[in-house]
Amino acid sequence: MRRRHVISTLVATGAAVALVAGPQMSRAAADSNQLYIYRVSATSEAAAQRLFHDGFDVLENRSGTNLFVLGDDATPARLQAAGFEPAIAEKLKPTGWKAPSTRLVPDAAGPAVAPIDETYDGGYHTVRAQYAHLDKVAADHANLATVVDYGDSYLKTRNPATGYDLKAICLTRKQSGDCALNPNVPKPRFLLMTQIHAREIVTGDISWRFIDHLVGGYGSNAQVTALLDSTEIWVVPIVNPDGVDLVQQGGNRPYLQRKNLNNTGGTGCANPPTASDQAGVDLNRNTITHWDTSGISHNPCSQTYDGRSGDSEPETQAIERLFRQLYADQRGPNDGDAAPVTTRGAMISMHSYAGMNLFPWGWSTRHSANDAALRAIAAKMSSYNGYQYGQPGEILYNASGTSDDWSYGELGIASFTIEVASCGSFTPAYTCTSTDFSRNLPALMYVAGKAKAPYQS
């Protein structure tokens, strides 16, 4: 297994790491908007969990015993006070794009371009554009595509005039009964979900490209044609549209937004967010599966705040309801119960930016009863994208309440998280989307093809 992360290379060569210690941390003119990625040694799982507990913004990346923390000029002092010795791994460039039109911005001007052409940060598609894209695909390929509104975002549940619908698209060579919200359908199902963490922007555009690859290749690409003839492919390009709406407004502070925008648990949280302070609930820590166990913070303004209770958030409830409408419950209720070899269904939740293929359990290093099959699929994925593979606690850190632990634990489907490498950057240029898509497309197609019987060898 090969590590393909730029920061790891820079750390090894000493080219980009300046140690931060003692009085060197002070700056004559500190810029509270300047962001850094700090390298922090965390040689034990207990040390990693202490970073979460103390409210640090721990990124989804690891290099050996080092974890990476996003922060500002004040973060090193906080890390030292918590017993860690930070080093600057990367100084992030300020974001500078003009905010696109969006109905969540007060008094927003009308869209300057057609909704489907609305972009930010060099080409990334806005929520409005992603939804216009789904509608256009369904209109242009009525024999293949169906758009489904599966719920409302947090803001929309509070005020129908704000917030967003939650949308998915079903792709298959449609026959009677296909794309129905019913788990008892003839075809197996694969689901890809992206941007559950708003700031992981490269993943949403990978969904866009994946959709286009499927509808554009049907009838001319043999692999695509066979897949859509036999399988329903579901794509949720933006699980967290309220959060993405804030990210796309630009500026370093909005760019930090990871969570949804539910501020009821911490009414004093900063808005726009800061490196250690943002409103919302981490939707990938909010599912009921071993909720509040690991990789979380109880501080409502922390990036990994897991909510007042498991499944508390509208976005979590809606995506779980969609899963239950798509997949039968095929596994027993206990952690040690195995999903049977007759199980159908697979899913991938896509994040950034470590270059890893992960599978349950994430809340613990305990192996699931289907570990051998899940591990074998992840190994095959790694043969395509070149990433490390393993349980989160083996190669990253333990985290509870995650979407793949829930979908495997509750329904038994083969569930994975891909941490795309994002060209080794927390803030990748838009051109990175093409690189990450090309690298991960074979893995997506492979897992989608396994949906009919993932646990059969």
- All domains in the chain, ordered by first residue: 6-91 (3.30.70), 115-246+305-449 (3.40.630.10)
Radius of gyration of the chain (CA): 21
What's the confidence (pLDDT) of residue 235? 99
What's the confidence (pLDDT) of residue 12? 33
What's the confidence (pLDDT) of residue 32? 57
Amino acid code (one letter) for 40: V
Closest CA to 345 of 260, 450, 445, 444: 450
Query: Under a CB-based contact definition with an 8 Å cutoff, are residues 289 and 306 in contact?
Result: no
Query: How are beta strands 356-358 and 388-390 bridged, if at all?
Result: parallel
Classify burial at 114, counting beta carbons within 10 Å of its beta carbon; exposed 0-12, middle 13-18, buried 19 or more: exposed
Rounded Cα gap, residues 220 and 218, in angstroms: 6
How much is the pTM? 0.92
What's the confidence (pLDDT) of residue 28? 29
pLDDT tens, position by position, for the chain (457 residues)? 333 333 333 333 333 333 333 323 333 233 457 899 999 999 999 999 999 999 999 999 999 999 999 999 999 999 999 999 999 999 988 878 888 887 787 677 777 899 999 999 999 999 999 999 999 999 999 999 999 999 999 999 999 888 999 999 999 999 999 999 999 999 999 999 999 999 999 999 999 999 999 999 999 999 999 999 999 999 999 999 999 999 998 877 778 899 999 988 767 888 778 877 899 999 999 999 999 999 999 999 999 999 999 999 999 999 999 999 999 999 999 999 999 999 999 999 999 999 999 999 999 999 999 999 999 999 999 999 999 999 999 999 999 999 999 999 999 999 999 999 999 888 899 999 999 999 999 999 999 999 999 999 8
405 membership: H or E segment, kind and range: helix 403-406
Closest CA to 188 of 157, 144, 233, 224: 233
What's the confidence (pLDDT) of residue 99? 85
Q: How far is CA 262 from the centre of its chain?
A: 18
